């Protein structure tokens, strides 16, 4: 018998497709130090380092590649800031965002994936580019209990199904 007040209740891991959001690939081709200084002045924060994110109230930048960031939100200030040293390309129509939340989100990502999902390797604010079940996925650790997965729209339905099936395997 479990006495009142002694039971621990946890929410199960959930996979939620998020509404479409303005997403852009931010690429820097030339003068990276000068562009970085201009971006910091325009946004109020520095371009995030590899595998990190940075944000203000209007925009989040996620870095997955040496010269490419994913920009989520209002990018209007960035077009002029880049000048001829880079480009912004709208990619929101080709990406589906999933929030994977709950106590088993790290274990769920290990199903079909081979990378370190520990809190030490993927702390809050971290980003990662990986392959899960043969699909290229970008990840952003939103909090200790949630991660946002950016999945190509052509694979979103099948990967969501894969994750739903895997939930029963991990007991989440």
Q: For domain 14-19+94-169, is the CATH number 3.40.50.150? A: no
Q: Locate 88 and state its tokens.
A: 């912004």
pLDDT in tens, the chain (172 residues): 444 444 333 456 899 999 999 999 999 999 999 999 999 999 999 999 999 999 999 999 999 999 999 999 999 999 889 999 999 999 999 999 999 999 999 999 999 888 999 999 999 999 999 999 999 999 999 999 999 999 999 999 999 999 999 988 887 5
Burial 63-87 (b: 16+ CB within 10 A, else e): bbeeeebbbbbebeebeebbeeebe
Return the CATH number of the domain spanning residue range 23-92.
3.30.70.1520
Most distant CA atoms of the chain, gap in Å: 69
Q: Which residue reads 């946890």 in tokens?
A: 10
Domain pair 14-19+94-169 / 23-92, same fold: no
pLDDT in tens, 2-11: 444 443 334 5
Alpha carbon dihedral 148, 149, 152, 157, in 10-degree steps, equals -100
Output the pTM of the full model: 0.89
Q: Would you list the domain boundaries of the chain?
A: 14-19+94-169, 23-92
Q: Tell me the CA distances in angstroms from 133 to 48, 49, 90, 136, 151, one per residue in order.
A: 28, 27, 26, 9, 12
Tell how strand 23-28 and strand 86-90 pair up: antiparallel
Residues in the chain: 172
User: What does the pLDDT look like over 6-50, one tens digit per residue?
Assistant: 433 345 689 999 999 999 999 999 999 999 999 999 999 999 999
């Amino acid at each position: 018998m479990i006495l009142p007040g002694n039971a621990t209740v946890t929410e199960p891991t959930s996979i939620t497709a998020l509404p479409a959001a303005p997403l852009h690939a931010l690429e820097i081709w030339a003068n990276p130090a000068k562009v970085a200084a201009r971006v910091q002045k325009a946004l109020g924060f520095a371009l995030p380092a590899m595998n990190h994110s940075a944000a203000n109230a209007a925009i989040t930048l996620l870095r997955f590649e040496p010269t490419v960031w994913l920009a989520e939100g209002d990018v209007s200030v960035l077009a002029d800031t880049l000048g001829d040293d880079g480009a912004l390309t709208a990619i929101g129509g080709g990406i589906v965002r999933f929030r994977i939340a709950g106590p088993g989100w790290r274990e769920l990502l290990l199903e079909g994936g081979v990378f370190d999902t520990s809190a030490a390797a993927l702390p809050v604010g971290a980003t990662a580019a990986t392959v899960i079940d043969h699909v290229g996925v970008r990840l952003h650790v939103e909090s200790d209990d949630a991660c946002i997965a950016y999945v190509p729209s052509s694979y979103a339905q099948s990967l969501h199904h894969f994750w739903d099936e895997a939930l029963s395997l991990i007991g989440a």
